[in-house]
Amino acid sequence: MTLPLEAYPRIENLLWEAHCGQISLAKIPIPEQVPGGQNVTILYEFLPGVKITRNTCRTALIKWPFTNLSSTPHMSLISPSQRLVLASTSPFRKEILQKLAIPFDTASPEVDEHELDGESPEKLVRRLAQSKTRAVIADYPEALIIGSDQVACIDGEILGKPGDRQNAMRQLHKASGKTVTFYTGLCLLNARSQCTQVACELFKVHFRQLNEAQIRRYLEHEQPFNCAGSFKSEGMGITLFSKLEGDDPNTLIGLPLIRLVEMLGNEGMEIP
């Protein structure tokens, strides 16, 4: 059964009091005014990384129906009000998002990542980040969906992912002693409301002068053939640089976390 509206305030207060008392797991009997509620108890838990407010408690109560069972039902009531989905199978983006300590799912978006004629790097990554969220919306019609895309540019050329050793050698030779600008597109789509937030974050990498032997040793060690620019900044790629310029180091790896936290806040998900 679904709780009547008049039952919400009491349970909401109990949830809030439990949170203030730092109780991570507790039982709350359903108020007497709920028909048949004498045999039903809510077993709830606060999930890590979720900011608890009175509104969070209220949202949880409205979201979850309660079943009249003789045994105690277990319900994780305090969770993000919407499911969070990362539209990417990148292990690097997944690792970055895990820093926020909130539950999320991952999905594989099927998107053609080729640039359009005359398309600028910024427009390209913004379009692709948005396309990735749209590609999985049918499977997650109620979720907050995150999409991200990244390209590297040098001397006006979009580098992209090398794909093999030969292209990686060419990219690193071209980057030697120069500055490479990374454009990272970020999109947060509220599938429920269709509200879309899109941004592009820039990050500049200044490369050292690299010789043939250094480039070969690096590629042999790390094999970054699926990384834009042919390096992994979270690994040995850092040895190729003389200087980094940007607001968020996570942007260089592929997911602008500072901007994402801001977007999630706009959707009512306060972190921390």
Q: Do residues 57 and 175 share a domain? A: no
Q: Do residues 57 and 129 share a domain? A: no
Question: Is residue 149 annotated as part of the catalytic site, yes or no?
Answer: yes
Residue 36, pLDDT score: 43
Catalytically annotated residue among 117, 139, 149, 155? 149
Give me the tens of pLDDT residue by residue for the chain, a chain 272 residues long: 344 445 545 555 555 555 555 444 444 444 444 444 444 444 444 444 444 454 444 444 433 433 333 333 333 333 456 889 999 999 989 999 999 988 899 999 999 988 999 999 999 999 999 999 999 999 999 899 999 999 999 988 898 789 999 999 999 999 999 999 999 999 999 999 999 999 999 999 999 999 999 999 999 999 999 887 899 888 899 999 999 999 999 999 999 999 999 999 998 888 88
Q: Do residues 52 and 155 share a domain? A: no
First to last CA, the chain: 33
| 132 close to 189: Cβ distance less than 8 angstroms | no
Residue 19, pLDDT score: 52
Domain coverage including residue 53: 5-63
Residue 12, pLDDT score: 54
CATH of the domain at 100: 3.90.950.10
Q: Do residues 234 and 113 share a domain? A: yes
Q: Do residues 59 and 157 share a domain? A: no
CA 126 from centroid of its chain's CA atoms: 16
Is residue 226 in some structural domain? yes
Q: Do residues 153 and 229 share a domain? A: yes
Is residue 72 in some structural domain? no
Q: Do residues 177 and 129 share a domain? A: yes
Residue 207, pLDDT score: 97
Q: Which residues pair with 265 in a beta bridge?
A: none
| 217 close to 167: Cβ distance less than 8 angstroms | no
Is residue 109 in some structural domain? yes
Q: Confirm whether pTM is higher than 0.75.
A: no
Residue 37, pLDDT score: 42
| 251 close to 229: Cβ distance less than 8 angstroms | no
Q: Do residues 185 and 59 share a domain? A: no
Report how far residue 3's alpha carbon sits from residue 35's, in angstroms, rounded to the nearest whole number: 9
Is residue 272 in some structural domain? no
Q: Do residues 57 and 183 share a domain? A: no
Is residue 169 in some structural domain? yes
Q: How far is CA 171 from CA 121, 227, 229, in A?
A: 17, 11, 6
Name the domain boundary from 34, 63, 92: 63
**HEC sequence for 63-103:** HCCCCCCCCCCECCCECCCCCEEECCCCHHHHHHHHHHCCC
Q: Do residues 170 and 215 share a domain? A: yes
Q: Do residues 113 and 243 share a domain? A: yes
Report how far residue 116's alpha carbon sits from residue 199's, in angstroms, rounded to the nearest whole number: 19
Name the domain boundary from 30, 63, 96: 63
Q: Do residues 91 and 190 share a domain? A: yes
Q: How many domains does the chain have?
A: 2
